[in-house]
Structures are given as C-alpha cells and as structure tokens.
Chains A and B, each alone.
Chain A
Amino acid sequence: MISKEKRAGTTDAADASSTGVIDQAIAENRHLPGALLPILHAIQDRLGFIPPHAAARIADGLNLSHADVHGVISFYHDFRSAPPGRHVVKLCRAEACQSMGAVALETRLKARLGIDFGQTTPDGAITLEPVYCLGNCALSPAVMIDSQLKGRVTQERLDGLIASLEAKP
C-alpha cells in the first residue's frame, strides 16, 4: 500500500520530468499559426499522454485560457489523459472491417484481455482503443499495433500478435 505522501511525491517527480517535455514542445511550436495541436502531438509523441498539468502551462505559453486548451484536449479522441500501456492496440470498428468479422474479433479480444476499449491490462502490457477506419479496407479486418498497420487479421493472427506483445517487455 502506497502512502498518501509517497503517492503525492511520486506525482511531483513525474510532473517535474514531464514539465521539461511540455515546455520544450511549447518552445518548438509556439511560432506556428494554430500551434495548439502540434504542441499537444509533440507532448503525446514523447510521453504517450497529455499530463493534466500541461493544460495550464500551454495556456500560459500561447496566451489562451485554460478552458480553451482543456476544451481542445478533451475534444479529440487521440489525446489521452493517462499513460497508456507498453503497447497500444487499435482495433478498427468501421463498416468494411465489420463486413469481415471485426465484431467477433472485438468480442474475443476484450474477453481475452479482460478489458474494454479505453482500458489497459492490469499488468500494463496493452491498452485497447477503438479506431474508425485505418484505410486498409480491402484487407479487412485491420488493427494497428504501436503505429504498425496489420491487415487480414484473423482470430489466429490476432492471437499470435497479442501473445508476442505480452511476451515483450
């Protein structure tokens, strides 16, 4: 059991290390017209998520209100507010994949991992996310694993892919 003090301390340390990333993302992109999305992407590319304290720093850096920044972060499906697992599996739910059995694939994968969309397995290995079309509709069903597109994903192929992720550190 982690004590309250310890937990607060851990968060402070995490904040301190992510602050550098956040400030760097702001500094590198603030000159761009419409800089907010590039900044958020730069942060998430490096940290895997947008830490909650980032919104206030970005708001300061871009001279926006905190509400504006929070509104943008929460609008887009891509931006996570908590760290993902070691691997992110995006399963396509769109029509072409459905026509080739994506619903059964989804049901089985959720059961196997014991999680729903938007959740991470308890061992921190896999975060499962829905995606609405990966542009691989002639090779349905499709999934994306850590930015790697996979096509013609049968139950057996998905089982193999997941097993190899679980085995990876």
Chain B
Amino acid sequence: MTTMYVPRDAAACSVGAEEVAQAIARAASARGDRIDIVRNGSRGMFWLEPLVEVATPQGRIAYGPVAPEDVASLFDAGFHTGAAHRLCLGPTEEIAYLKKQERLTFARVGVTDPLNLSEYEAHGGLRGLRAALGMSSRDIVEEVVRSGLRGRGGAAFPCGIKWRTVLGAEARPKYIVCNADEGDAGTFSDRMIMEGDPFVLFEGMAIAGIAVGAAKGYIYLRSEYPDAERTLALAIAAARQASLLGNDVLGSGRAFDLEVRRGAGAYICGEETALLESLEGKRGMVRPKPPLPALEGLFGQPTVVNNVITLASVPIILDKGAKYYADYGMGRSQGTLPFQLAGNVKRGGLVEKAFGITLRELLYDYGGGSASGRPIRAVQVGGPLGAYLPESRFDTPLDYEAFAAAGGMIGHGGVIAFDDTVDMAQMARYAMEFCAIESCGKCTPCRIGSRRGVEVIDHIRAGRKPAANLALLRDLCDTMTYGSLCAMGGLTPAPVVSALDHFPEDFGVSPAKKVS
C-alpha cells in the first residue's frame, strides 16, 4: 500500500488538485495498484501546485505541478515508488524554498491529514494544551507574555498583555474570539492554517480559554473562504469526538467549545470592534475605544480577540517554552512570521521565517523575481492599508519597529510584488476607492475623505490643476490619518502617500521637483 498526498487546500484545488486526486485514484484502480490518497494541506509552494507527494522508505518525494493528463506517465515511470520523472522534485523536505524556512506555526501544514487527530498528536499536537492544563492561569498568561508573541493580525499588540487584562477582569462569562476575517489582499496564511491544520487553532483557542477563564469561543470566518468553513466544520466534529473540545477538555474537567460564524463580505469586520458588532448580529460598525474589548467585548463581556496565526502560535509556546519561541526573531519582534509572497512573483507562497529577513531575500531568494520577467518596481507590504515601497527599501529587515522606521507596516505579513508596468497613481486611486467601498461610515474622515480622495486623484491624473490638487490630496490624507476612528481610514493614506513620495512621476510630477 502506497500513501500519496494530494492537497485539499483551496488554492491547490483552484489549479486542479481535486481533478488530479481523482485521476490518480482512477489510474491506480485501473492498474490494480493499491494506494491510499491523503488529502493534506498545502506546503505553500503554490507555483508547484498541484503538488503530489509519494511516501517512500527514503521519505516523501514530490512531483509538481501535476496536471490530470500527467498521471498516466507518472504511473508508467513508477512514481508510486518515488521513481524519476520530468515532474519529480526530489525529497519534499530538501526543496530549498521549504528547507530554508523556520516552520513553527506551520510545522504540520502540508505534512499531516488536517482532519486526523491522532496524526496531529503524533506530530507534536496537544502537548501545549496538556502542559497548559497542568499550569495555573497566571503562569500560562505569563508564559505567553515572555514569549514576546505579538498580534499577527496586523496591529502587533503583545498577546500576553491582552490575555492578562482579560484574566484580571471580574465579569463572567468571558469569550475567546478568533479573527479569521483575513481580508487583506496578499494574505492567505489564516486560510492555510484553517484548511491545513485546524486542530492547532482549536488547541490555541482552548489554551486561551483555560488561561483567561473562558469556556466559549467563536471563529469569525470570512464568507470568501467556503473551503475553510467546510474543513473547520469537519475538524470541530472530530475534536468534539476526541474531547479536545467540549465539557471535559482532554479529561481535565475544564470546558471549552467553539462555534464558527460566517461573515458577510465586509472588509471592516476584520477590525476587532466591528467584528464584535457583527458577531452580535449588527452592522459592522467600529466601536470607539475605550472600553477595550478585553474588558467589554463580545456582548459586553471580557473578550480575547486574536488573529488565527496568533492563536495557532500559542501551542508551540506552551509546548516548548517561551524562550524557545522568543529566541527566534530580532529586537522586540520575537518568534516567526508566516510571510505570504504574492502577486507578480515567480514563486509565490508561504514563507515562515524569523523576523529580520529582508524584502529582497523574500522577493528574490524565495520569490525568484517577478513572474513576468520584468523588474519589480513596487511592493506593497501589509495589505491594502500598507505602504508601497520602492527598490531602495528592499533591504530593510522585516521587524515591526525597523520596518515602521522605513515607512512600512508588516501587518499580517502579506507581500505583493508589482512589475514596472504598474501605474502607481492608479494604485493610489484604488486604495481610496477600496476605502470608500469598505468604510463602515461611522466617522467622517474615512467615509467622506475616501470618496473625495478618488475624485482628487482623478483630477490629478487628468491633469486638472495638478499642483493644487496634489496639495489637497496630502491635506486630505493628513485629515484621514489623524481624524479617523480606526485603522481603515487612518491607514488608507499610507499606500497613497507612499505612492506619491516614491513614485511621483506616475502622478505627473517630475521626481526632481517632488511635492513635499
């Protein structure tokens, strides 16, 4: 019996993994070969998807990208024994892209069957939760504080400090809310965890619940991820069956259960207070802070709101200790970040590395340069609210503080490359347009400013009073930055102003006479 792996990940299936799995099953049965097809998560090397792996005595051998019509020749070559073929990539773990990574949060993604809990346990799962169940609430929280883990959703707030606030709150009940509204363009790490290793997220949420005294968790999942929703539903059923979730978590007598709630296509619901409103069944309008959600969050109760990657990084911290995790990274950016390499790159995918890697390493060593073969001209890091950076900034280390000093924002770790055909005035206009479409409308700078921003950029691009309109655009960006209620209006100017600063020629301004 040969075991083969064909990903069930939505991205892999978007280029034919399902058809490949079916073709392999058909070919094997026609040839009388006995094979077992495991539908794993993706290894995150998307240019190689559909990536098929074959288990051999020498380890797993990778083939890709495989099309259904390649399957016959693969069998003829004897790929079910790991034999050579033009699509053979050798041992999966030896592929440089993967080998050079530091996969802590993503240790099992692409390796295991995401719905097989015993396999999860065999690969190090549940150890963090078991350790936590033997500790006091305070000790769990302080362990997370010491790990230096900061919110991976974008705001980078120290996770342990947030947990400490919720632990100290007296009101009951308390809630754990997982922000799975991964709306930032260029990001897909949350999706990959939910589809590729959902138990690690549940384990992280259960640890959070035990740490702060919450018995109920919600995963707020964006509606654009129907595959993740299906996988989560199956995984929750399996987790309840095995008492990872329920009234008696791993026989500890402690209760923790969770529920998935589907969003409805509003980007703003990735903002934590808008998310809470939405979970309560309301319009996703941003709440002013204070009160902090840690004290008055979901239904007015103390609530931990953490991103998927933050929560999925907790089990390894409890398993291996805060120091193990904190030893990765640099400065105040400790641990690893699953960067997502996207857009116009040859080798897009998931690259989990310690903080401190540079954009240039990501774009060229991993990404292999642009997909189009043209020079990479601009890179947007941190989603639609992140700055556009020119090549002169590519050597800045990706560390929260260092990157901010260079005018960037790491955010959720998405990196989108653009080649030299990009029109940066058009991208600036899109940033304003996106804000106009997605603004919750609660505060005026965001609601009106973004619409006005589109108009002003249209004037500039049409050459109408460019100098006056450029000054007006900067003024408008100032108002939005300092006057908006949340990061949506407050950071929309980042891509706009960075485009103006670094690519003035696209706005009809000669670089020499840069408007400042």
Chain A: residues with CB nearer than 8 A to chain B? 33-38, 40-41, 62, 68, 71-72, 75-79, 94-100, 131-140, 142, 144, 147, 149-152
Task: Please measure, in the bound complex, the distance between the C-alpha atom of A142 and the C-alpha atom of B225, giving whole angstroms.
Answer: 13
- Are B185 and A137 touching (Cβ within 8 A)? yes
Please pick, from A34, A40, A95, A132, the residue contacting B264 in the complex, using a CB distance under 8 A: A40
A128 → chain B, closest Cβ, in Å?
Answer: 15
**Residues of A contacting B263 with CB < 8 Å?**
37, 76, 78
On chain A, the residues within 8 Å of B327 by CB distance are none
CB <8 Å contact, A138 and B188:
yes
Give CA–CA (A41, B184) in the complex, Å. Answer: 23
Given A96-B343, A149-B10, A151-B11, A36 contacting B224 (CB threshold 8 A): no
Question: Is the pair B266, A139 in contact by a Cβ cutoff of 8 Å?
Answer: no
Distance, CA A144 to CA B227, complexed state (A): 12
Q: Lowest 6 A-B CB distances belong to which pairs?
A: A138-B348, A36-B281, A137-B342, A94-B185, A76-B264, A151-B14
What's the least CB distance linking B113 to chain A, in Å?
21
Q: Which of B355-363, B414-422, B448-456, B480-488 contacts A (4 or more CB under 8 A)?
A: B414-422
- Are A139 and B186 CB-contacts (below 8 A) given A37-B261, A75-B266? no
Contact A36 B282, beta carbon cutoff 8 Å: yes
B242-268 near A? 1/0 per residue, CB < 8 Å: 000000000000000000011111110
> A76 CA to B284 CA in the complex, in Å?
8
Chain B residues lying within 8 Å of A40, measured Cβ to Cβ, are 264
Decide if B306 is an interface residue (CB 8 Å cutoff). no
Q: Given the interface contacts A94-B384, A132-B185, does A78 sit within 8 Å of B223 by beta carbon?
A: yes
Taking a contact as CB atoms under 8 Å apart, the answer to whether A76 and B380 are in contact is: no
> Which of A72, A75, A99 interacts with B417 by CB under 8 Å?
A99
Are A152 and B283 closer than 8 Å at their CB atoms?
no
Q: Which partner residue on chain B sits nearest A44 by CB separation?
A: B264
0/1 string, B207-250, CB within 8 A of A gives 1: 00000000000000001111100000000000000000000000
Bound form: Cα–Cα A136–B371 in Å: 15
Determine the distance from Cα of A41 to Cα of B348 in the docked complex, in whole angstroms.
Answer: 33
Answer whether A136 and B11 are a contact pair too, CB < 8 Å, given A76-B264, A96-B342: yes
| Alpha-carbon separation in the docked complex, A139 to B347 (Å) | 10
Q: Is B292 an interface residue (CB 8 A)?
A: no
The answer to whether A79 touches B264, judged by C-beta atoms less than 8 angstroms apart, is yes
B278 at interface (Cβ–Cβ under 8 A)? yes
* A77-B265, A132-B183, A132-B267 known; A139+B418 contact, CB < 8 A: no
What are 28 A-B contacts defined by CB distance under 8 Å? Answer: A36-B281, A62-B281, A71-B283, A72-B281, A76-B264, A94-B384, A95-B186, A95-B343, A96-B416, A99-B417, A132-B183, A133-B182, A133-B184, A133-B186, A134-B224, A135-B182, A135-B188, A135-B225, A136-B14, A136-B188, A137-B188, A138-B47, A138-B341, A139-B49, A140-B348, A149-B13, A150-B15, A152-B14
Residues of B within 8 A of A35 (CB): 281
Q: How many Å from the CB of A42 to the closest CB on chain B? A: 10
Whether B187 sits at the interface, judged by CB under 8 Å, is yes
Is the beta-carbon distance between B419 and A99 smaller than 8 angstroms? yes
Partner of A99, one of B10, B340, B414, B418: B418
Interchain nearest-CB distance for A69 vs B (Å): 9
Residue in chain B with minimal CB distance to A94: B185
Q: Which of B46, B185, B191, B371 contacts A95 (CB 8 A)?
A: B185
What CA separation (Å) do A76 and B264 show in the bound complex? 6
By beta carbon, the residue of chain B nearest A36 is B281
**Closest residue of B by beta carbon distance from A147:** B226
Closest-by-CB residue of A relative to B422 is: A99
Q: Does residue B75 face the partner (Cβ distance < 8 Å to A)?
A: no
B187/A135 in contact, CB under 8 A: yes
List CB contacts (< 8 Å) of B101-138 with chain A: none
* Cβ contact within 8 Å between B224 and A138: no
A128–B80 CA distance with the chains assembled, in angstroms = 42
Smallest CB separation, A131 vs chain B (Å)? 6
The answer, yes or no, to whether B280 is at the interface (CB within 8 Å) is yes
B340-383, CB < 8 A from A: 340-345, 348-350, 371, 380
